[in-house]
Amino acid sequence: MWKVLICAVAWPLLSSADPGSRRDFVSYVNPLIGTQKSAIGYGGTMPFVTAPFGMTDWTPQTRQNKISITSYNYDDGAISGFIGTHQPAIWMGDYGYVTLMPQVGSLRTSPENRKLPFAHMNESASPDYYAVALSIGENGMIRAEMTASERCAIFRFRFPKGDVARVLVESSRPGIPGFAAVDRKAHEITGRNPHRMDAHLGPMKLPHFNGYFVVQFRELPMKMETYGGHNSNASDTRGAYAEFNPGEVVELRVGTSFISIDQARTNLKREIPDWDFDVVRQKLHSIWEEKLSRLQVDGASEREKTRLYTALYHALLYPRMFSEYGRYYSAFDDQVHTGESYTSFSIWDTFRAENSLLTLFAPERINGMVTALLQNFKEGGWMPKWPNPSYTNIMIATHADSLVAEAVRKGFNGFDRGLAWQAVYKDAMTPPDGDTTRRWVDREEGTPYEARAGLTYYKKLGYIPTDKTDEAASRTLEDSYDDWCVAQIAKALGRESDYRFFLRRSLNDRNLFNPAVGLMNGKTSDGKWAPLGGSGDTPGNRSVSGWTEGDAWVYTWAPFHDQAGLIQLMGGADAYTAKLDAHFGGGHNVHSNEPSHHYGYLYDFAGQPWKTQAKVRQIAAAEYGYDPGGLDGDDDCGQMSAWLLFTAIGLYPVNPASGDYMIGSPLYKRMAITLSSGRTFRVQAEDNSESNVYIQSATLDGHPLNIPVITWEQIQSGATLRLQMGPKPSRWATSWRPTPVPAN
């Protein structure tokens, strides 16, 4: 029997899967957070029903998604479909998607004509379930429910009496040569969609790429037909539909694949073998409950728990699985291979904290994720920067090096380390094709794989000149960090000469420090300082000042590995912190974008950790909310959410590949992480409150801790970090300084 739908405004309520008085963890997740533009910002998220790292995400579609537009926006008032999407972030495109839509009355196939109004009071969203009532005017409502598995979904549409019940299955959009076919006897609609919205970026054409689907109906339809084709030419069809008797409850299940229609059918058989909507939902609920329960909190209000567990839900969506039971389609050589694969690595964003979070909350995935990057290297020639699902040449540097270095540092051994060395060494030493004849403009079409653009100059001059390569200053600083990562991999593999070489080269960041202004500054090829640039830089001006989505203030502290060197360049710890004060006081910290994410923690490096403790609390309060408008800036595949989670715990991986976590100011009295070993890492912040933000003293497993750092090994041992909090700054950890990177 249809249950009254939950009002999203009153979120969250008790989960139906936990009828007792104790709320389960899934019930705290509100997938609508980040779906609305607000005074805080716009997260660009969607209310996905999917498994952690699911290959296909299912969401209501209030607008036609494309690069810069996501499928769902909270401010919209009508739904035109329910899409199985692979769009990972607002500035990326979708690929191989399939859309379903219930309707009554005349056949209406275009999104504008088929859309139906809805109200948020008749909408319910959770990680394991979405439901909504669609208005058809005086004839009542169509009630829609969906739940999902890793690659499949099951829907239940309840139609009113009086008119034929119809379900559209849209295989592709106008201008896209999608395919759909019907088999009434088998109760099936099958098809494929070759659309890749990002196909114009990067060098790969991929003629065999398709997103395949199988839609199976529980009951025999009265009628099934294709639509949108030209006469009998089925290859031009855009979709199909099935019709049923008025007033029926129509159940259908959908399997998706990137290998074949048969594989989509196999995926469906394995993941949703029976016609039992509630069983599928309960299984997905249990999967999410296990994942979310690894984080425990005491001292948070109900709405704070919603904010916290929603962030963990967002962080556990990416990168997405791209393999299907031991096989995967490669978007790098256009062939099917044996193995495990992942895609949607938003690496320029997620190497900072999201990947580090996954080493704690999903360590069982790390070996497979690194292996996927190495498979991309074997099949396409390079590890990707932003695979979606192929090379897109978006953003700068080769931060897959950081992901590999972090995995090596933390002892993950389930990938080919020899192959990993080949991949990172090529990143560091081989310039891309046409390196000195291209400017490598962001999202430039028709380019070969970009890798480290400007590497030719970097190797010769020790920096990338702004008059030769776009975004050159930012590239120099980020390449320096990646060199440090390559050095750490070399050291772990016993390659001492390579270790020394890349360690020395990782200090290239220092070549851009301009003592006259006390900031990093781009240089031209003749060694002169380029215009410093400002936060108002347009893309066209990036070629002059050399910055990526920022300015000199945003990028001066970018070399995570060389804060000791920066302290020295600035004239000591006091000058370093004074410059940080000016950074924050001048409004240069833009938390909605990733290059600013570590800045609040930098006071730890220069003997003023109390400023870190106050600053990260301020940022968390200002940039993260509790409702659909509660996320400042694109979540970028979990990075924005990962920052909040680490900050709530009281830690942050400023240099993610180092295995060190800087200590901030925990948001709550008790936080705990259940580790894969079965041990529990705990943070106890005694007397913690909104006013007691400052650490007075600290112990680790009962022993005094006088530095603002905790290591990966200490966390993995199941240690207890106990902090005594108070209302005023203290001298705790003020004498610690980072160890300089050796120059020889």
The dihedral through the CA atoms of 439, 445, 448, 449 has a sign that is positive
pLDDT of 4 over the 60 cut? no
Number of domain units in the chain: 2
Residue 68 in domain: yes
pLDDT of 16 over the 90 cut? no
Q: What is the pTM of this model?
A: 0.94
CA distances to 15, 385, 401, 565, 659 from 405, rounded to whole Å, are: 40, 15, 6, 21, 10
For 148-178, what is each residue's pLDDT tens digit? Answer: 999 999 999 999 998 899 999 999 998 898 9
Quick one: pLDDT at residue 23?
Answer: 85
For 598-616, what is each residue's pLDDT tens digit? Answer: 999 999 999 999 999 999 9
CA distances to 316, 319, 358, 641, 643 from 355, rounded to whole Å, are: 10, 9, 5, 12, 11
> Domain range spanning residue 215?
8-292
Residue 121 in domain: yes
Q: How many other CB atoms are there within 10 angstroms of residue 441's CB atom?
A: 17
pLDDT of 3 over the 70 cut? no
For 100-131, what is each residue's pLDDT tens digit? Answer: 999 999 999 999 999 999 999 999 999 999 99
Query: How much of the chain exceeds pLDDT 70, in percent?
Result: 94
Same domain, 212 and 156: yes
Same domain, 642 and 694: yes
**292, 314, 341 — which closes off a domain?**
292
Same domain, 302 and 405: yes
**249, 274, 292 — which closes off a domain?**
292
Same domain, 288 and 302: no
Same domain, 431 and 326: yes
The CATH number covering residue 587 comes to 3.30.2080.10
The angle, 0 to 180 degrees and rounded to 10, between the axes of the packed helices 639-649 and 609-623 is: 130
Same domain, 257 and 116: yes
Residue 88 and residue 344 in contact, taking contact as beta carbons nearer than 8 Å: yes
């943070």: which residue's tokens?
Answer: 683
Give the mean pLDDT of 265-286: 98
Residue 358 and residue 334 in contact, taking contact as beta carbons nearer than 8 Å: no
- What whole-number distance in Å separates Cα of residue 268 and Cα of residue 250? 18
Residue 3 in domain: no
Residue 157 and residue 165 in contact, taking contact as beta carbons nearer than 8 Å: yes
Quick one: pLDDT at residue 603?
Answer: 98
Quick one: pLDDT at residue 237?
Answer: 61
The CATH number covering residue 274 comes to 2.70.98.10
Quick one: pLDDT at residue 287?
Answer: 98
Task: Find out whether the peptide bond into 12 is cis, omega within 30 degrees of 0.
Answer: yes
CA–chain centroid gap for 111, Å, is: 28
Quick one: pLDDT at residue 10?
Answer: 29
Same domain, 209 and 323: no
Quick one: pLDDT at residue 17?
Answer: 39
The dihedral through the CA atoms of 329, 332, 338, 339 has a sign that is negative
Residue 396 in domain: yes
Same domain, 149 and 214: yes
Instruction: Give the pair of three-digit tokens for residue 368.
Output: 């497979």
- pLDDT band for position 33 (cuts 50, 70, 90): very high
**271, 292, 313 — which closes off a domain?**
292
Same domain, 275 and 300: no
- pLDDT band for position 541 (cuts 50, 70, 90): very low
Same domain, 268 and 374: no
Residue 734 in domain: no
Residue 1 in domain: no
Residue 459 in domain: yes
Residue 235 in domain: yes
Quick one: pLDDT at residue 679?
Answer: 97
Same domain, 317 and 449: yes
Same domain, 285 and 300: no
For 199-249, what is each residue's pLDDT tens digit? Answer: 999 899 999 999 999 999 999 999 999 998 654 444 446 899 999 999 999
